[in-house]
Amino acid sequence: MSAGSQGSWLHVQRGAAPLLLCMPHTGTLIPDPVAAQLLSPWLARKDTDWWIERLYAFAADLGATLIRTAVSRSVIDANRDPSGVSLYPGQATTELCPTTTFDGEPLYRVGCVPGAEEIAARRREYFEPYHQAIGTELRRLRGAHRVVILYDCHSIRSQIPRLFTGTLPHFNIGTNSGTSCDAVLTRRIEALCDASGLTRVTDGRFRGGYTTRHYGAPQHGVHAVQMELACRGYLREPVGGVDAASWPCAYDDEFAAPLRAVLARVLEACLDFAR
């Protein structure tokens, strides 16, 4: 089902299982007034979590609830603290309404960077309805289950020198240093990732964004985990820098299948833990 009047950009697919998947960065929609302010549509979509909604499409068959915004993160980042406080003090990052790409390239034309009034308007129009939907679905699921898992789905290019050194591990598990999720569930997810033969880190460069930190409350039955995937695990990601001719690359079901199988086991472990 779609979420009421926001159905054109906010998608909610309800399931009965105690598992909620959130996808804040899969969108590519840029409203015309915002597009007119930008230097390049490709740059504005460069840091999209490409094809994540296709990679996790199987989750509906597990009975999971899926929430996804079709609005580009360059319009507003639904996984940033709305107060503007940095999630990673002292490290390079992007803002609630990003002004640069992850690589530091400017997004806006001179004189067109959004000010406080425009940022507040984007918060009301997109950020708040997205998080209201998360709150609504968590309350619904908590009404039926003692424990619910919120699993925040992300991906990022494997090499972005401005954000991290070297090549990112395939699986980047974020639990806000253990505060958003029970350690037992974290260890189960870690074991499944490690058994795949791919690389994994927990609470490394990506410890979890606003969604994980805001909703994760193990003491109240909500365990939140962020999974940041290095794109090379499920896409034929170009090595090093990308351009409009090479990025995004096409989604290939067959290429993605091995990593998708690991993710299926991870989500099944989340359901086992919740039940």
- The amino acid at 63: G
pLDDT at 55: 98
pLDDT at 109: 97
- The amino acid at 4: G
pLDDT at 201: 98
Block residue for tokens 């308007």: 121
How far is Cα 191 from Cα 184, in angstroms, rounded to an integer? 11
CB 157 within 8 A of CB 206: no
pLDDT at 4: 35
Token readout for 14 is: 């309800």
CB 108 within 8 A of CB 37: yes
Indicate the domain borders of the chain: 4-274
How far is Cα 35 from Cα 41, in angstroms, rounded to an integer? 7
CB 146 within 8 A of CB 222: no
Q: In 63-162, which ranges are E strands?
A: 65-69, 148-156
- Which residues in the chain come in under a pLDDT of 70? 1-7, 86, 89-90, 92
How far is Cα 259 from Cα 270, in angstroms, rounded to an integer? 17
Beta partners for 150? 20, 224
Q: Please name the fold of domain 4-274.
A: Aminopeptidase (3.40.630)
Contacts of 241 (CB under 8 A, 6+ apart): 103
Handedness of CA 134, 271, 154, 161 (dihedral sign): positive
The CA-atom distances, in angstroms, between 256 and each of 51, 54, 102, 236, 245 are 10, 10, 24, 9, 21
